[in-house]
Amino acid sequence: MVQRSGYHGGRVSQDRGDDASWISVSDLMAGLMMVFLCIAVAMMRSVMIEREKIRTIAMSYKENQLAIYETLQREFAPDLGRWGATIDRETLTIAFNNSDAMFETGEAELNASYQVVFEEFFPRYMNVLAPFRTSIEAVRIEGHTSSGWGQSSDPNAMYFNNLRLSQDRARSVLRFVYTLDAVTSYNSWMMKNVAAVGYSSSRPIYNADGSENIDQSKRVAFRVITNSETKIHSILEESF
- Summarize pLDDT for 142-177 with one digit per residue, the tens: 999 988 887 788 999 999 999 999 999 999 999 999
Main-chain dihedrals φ then ψ at residue 134, nearest 5 degrees: -70, -20
9 and 81 part of one domain: no
Report CA-CA distances (Å) from 146 to 9, 13, 96, 105, 122.
100, 94, 14, 12, 25
**Euclidean distance between CA atoms 222 and 88, whole angstroms:** 10
132 and 27 part of one domain: no
- Domain annotation covers residue 114: yes
51 and 125 part of one domain: no
The region, left, alpha or beta by phi > 0 then psi within -120 to 50, assigned to residue 215 is alpha
Contact (Cβ atoms closer than 8 angstroms) between residue 219 and residue 98? yes
Domain end marker among 28, 55, 82 = 55
166 and 47 part of one domain: no
Domain containing residue 148: CATH number = 3.30.1330.60
User: Considering its fold, how many domains does the chain have in total?
Assistant: 2
Highest-pLDDT range among 3-12, 104-113, 220-229: 104-113
Which pTM does this prediction carry? Answer: 0.73
- Domain annotation covers residue 145: yes
